[in-house]
Amino acid sequence: MIRPDAAMITPVANQSESSSSNLGKISIAVGIALTIGAFFYFDLGRFLSLAALKENRDGLLAFTEANFAAAVGIFIVAYAIVTGLSLPGAVILTLAGGFLFGAVFATLFVNIGATTGATLAFLTARYLLRDTVEQKFGKWLGPFQEGFAKNALSYLLTLRLIPLFPFFVVNLVSGLTRVNVGTYVAATAIGIIPGSFVYAYAGHQLGSINSLREVASPNVLAAFGLLGLLALVPVVYKRFAAKSA
């Protein structure tokens, strides 16, 4: 014979777990909202601008030379936070990384920071923001779900290599799909390499300019050329896709 009090254990336990889960989600949501709100309230974005980069260039270079490991750690953490919270400033950070660490090392550090931040945003969307993201970006969910159903890795690689959608949108919407974390991380880490390198290379060249005469140097012109080509990639892809269709 089943005791009545024993039969009630499962519903009560489930209700307790559900309440605990909701409390955890609310806490995370509040923490994220307060962090983003503080970023804009205190205008922290002013530190992630070309003007701030130019003004503090010598100081940043001196600090990096004297404390390379610390500079790398701070850079990666800052990049992960900016990317994970979908804050503006990733491009400026990539340019800064270029002239502080050089194009190759900056690409590596940007990759680590951006992939970490993108994964955090992905997991947050999967755990916390499903309803919010569906309401805000619902019109894009159809193509994403269809693409992921066919081949998650190749579809994600395409979205990373060819920025048809903003980086943060891909992060959040990907969390609503059934793609596993390993595939998402691999596709993100590989797919952002070309774009990261182009901006890091541009930052390295721009950081070396000490006079107006150097603006017309071959390396700087090459950097601008690469930026222009990168901007044309989505346009070329759309035209090619339209002709194929």
Question: Per residue in 61-89, pLDDT tens?
Answer: 999 999 999 999 999 999 999 999 999 99
Inside any domain, residue 220: yes
pLDDT class for 22, splitting at 50, 70, 90?
confident
Inside any domain, residue 47: no
Cα of 181 vs its chain's centroid, Å? 15
Q: Does 122 or 152 have the greater pLDDT score?
A: 122
Judge if 90 and 1 occupy the same domain: no
Judge if 108 and 165 occupy the same domain: yes
Residue with tokens 């923001």: 129
pLDDT class for 152, splitting at 50, 70, 90?
confident
Query: By percentage, how much of the chain surpasses pLDDT 90?
Result: 42
- Widest distance between CA atoms in the chain: 92
CB atoms within 10 A of CB 156: 25
With beta carbons less than 8 A apart as the criterion, state whether 189 and 137 touch.
no
Judge if 33 and 91 occupy the same domain: no
Judge if 15 and 79 occupy the same domain: no
Judge if 11 and 117 occupy the same domain: no
Judge if 37 and 59 occupy the same domain: no
Q: How many degrees, rounded to 5, is the angle at CA 184 between CA 183 and CA 189?
A: 100
Q: How many degrees, rounded to 5, is the angle at CA 107 between CA 95 and CA 165?
A: 75
Judge if 14 and 105 occupy the same domain: no
Judge if 27 and 145 occupy the same domain: no
Judge if 20 and 80 occupy the same domain: no
Determine the Cα–Cα distance for residues 29 and 130; give it in Å rounded to an integer.
Answer: 12
This prediction's pTM: 0.80
Judge if 27 and 126 occupy the same domain: no
Judge if 66 and 6 occupy the same domain: no
Q: What is the DSSP string of 113-154?
A: HHHHHHHHHHHHHHHT-HHHHHHHHHHHHHHHHHHHHH-HHH
> Considering its fold, how many domains does the chain have in total?
2
State which residues form the domain around 66: 54-244
